[in-house]
Amino acid sequence: MKPFNKQKGIRPELDRCGVHSSLFGRCTSGLPDRRTPSGPSLSSVRRGAAQKTKYVAAFILLLLATTAWRSVEPEITIYMIGDSTMADKPDAADINPERGWGQLFPLFFNEKVVVQNHAVNGRSTKSFIAEGRWDAVLEKLRSGDYVFIQFGHNDTKEADPSRYTNPYSGYRRNLEKFVRETRARGAFPVLLSSIVRRNFNEQGTLVDTHGAYPFVTRMVAMEMKVPFIDMQLKTEDFVNELGP
C-alpha cells in the first residue's frame, strides 16, 4: 500500500466529487465525465478512489487479522517439579506461614506467563516419576514451555527405598530423563540445585546436608547444556546472613 499523500491521495480526489463525509461514499457531483485542465475525468476519479479504497480495506483486514491472531496467541507456561521446598502450601498464613519458593514465583511475571507448580512435599526424582506425576506434566507440555526441575532433599533418604536414589546413578539418570523428554516436546528444561536446610551446629556453622546431589545436578546441566540455577549457593548466603 502506498503512503497517503496529502496532495494526490484519496481525500482530494473525493473532495472534487463533493464527498466529505465518508471514504466509501459515492461521487454525487455534476462534474462532466471528461478531462479538463483542472484534473482527470470523473470516471477516472471514481476508478482511482475505488482502487485506493480497496487497498485501504485490504490493509485494515490484514491489521484486524494480525491483531486477532495475537490476541489468541497461547501464553508460555512454566511447569515446576520438585519437593516441599518448591511446593505450594495452604494459604493460611495465620496458622502456618511456610511457603515453598515456587508458590511466590508467579509474582514475577505478567499475564502472558502461567506458572503451574507440580512440586509435592516429600517427593524425590524416583517417587515423582513412579507416581505418574512426571507423565501428567508431559501430557500438558507444549513447544516453548519451560520446566524448572529441583530435587535432592528426598533423594538422600537411604532408609526409604521408594525415594532414595544414588546421586551418581539413579538420581543422574532421572535428571537426564527430565531433560531429554522435556526437549522432545520442544520445551526448555532448567535445572536447579536444592536450597539449603537451616541446619547450624553448636558453633554456629551452617552444615551441608545434600552431599553430592547439587554437584551431580550441575554436572548434568553442563554435559547436556541446560541452564542451571545454583539455589544452594544463593540460599546458603542468605541463611548465613540470617544466622542460627
Q: Are 130 and 236 part of one and the same domain?
A: yes
- Shared domain for 36 and 93, answered yes or no, is no
Looking at the structure, tell me whether residues 155 and 169 fall in a common domain: yes
* One domain for residues 85 and 64: no
Domain count, the chain: 2
Is 97 within the bounds of a domain?
yes
Residues in the chain, overall count: 244
Separation between Cα atoms, residue 232 and residue 199, nearest integer Å: 13
Please say whether the beta carbons of 27 and 48 come within 8 A.
no
Domain assignment present for 162: yes
Q: Which of 40, 71, 102 is the last residue of a domain?
A: 71
Residue-number span of the structural domain to which 188 is assigned: 76-242
Confirm whether 132 is domain-assigned.
Answer: yes
Q: Is pLDDT above 50 for 68? A: no
Residue 9 scores a pLDDT above 90: no
Between CA 28 and CA 165 the distance in angstroms is 86
Co-location of 130 and 237 in the same domain: yes
Under DSSP, the state recorded for 9 is S
Calculate the alpha carbon distances from 126 to 9, 217, 244 in Å.
70, 15, 32
pLDDT band for position 24 (cuts 50, 70, 90): very low
Instruction: Look at residue 153 and tell me if it is in a domain.
Output: yes
How far are the Cα atoms of 6, 54, 231 from residue 151, in angstroms, in the given order? 66, 60, 11
Residues 23, 140 within the same domain: no
Of 12-26, 37-51, 230-244, least confident by mean pLDDT is: 12-26
Q: What are the φ/ψ torsions at residue 185 (nearest 5 degrees)?
A: -90, 0
Question: At which residue does the C-alpha cell 470516471 appear?
Answer: 43
Phi, psi angle pair for 44, to nearest 5°: -70, -35
Regarding whether 153 and 230 lie in a shared domain, the answer is: yes
Asked if residue 197 is part of any domain, the answer here is yes
- What are the helix (H) ranges across the chain? 10-15, 42-71, 125-130, 133-140, 170-184, 213-223, 231-242
Integer-rounded Cα Rg, in Å, for the chain is 32
pLDDT in tens, 88-146: 888 766 777 778 899 989 999 988 899 999 999 999 999 999 999 999 999 999 999 99
In a domain, 42, yes or no: yes
Pairwise pLDDT comparison (149 vs 203), residue with the higher score = 149
**In a shared domain, residues 37 and 139:** no
Residue 1 lies in a domain: no
Q: Do 99 and 204 sit in the same domain of this protein?
A: yes
In 3D space, the residue among 201, 191, 126 whose CA is nearest the CA of residue 157 turns out to be 126
Residues 200 and 110 in one domain: yes
Ramachandran area for residue 18 (φ above 0: left; ψ -120 to 50: alpha; else beta):
left
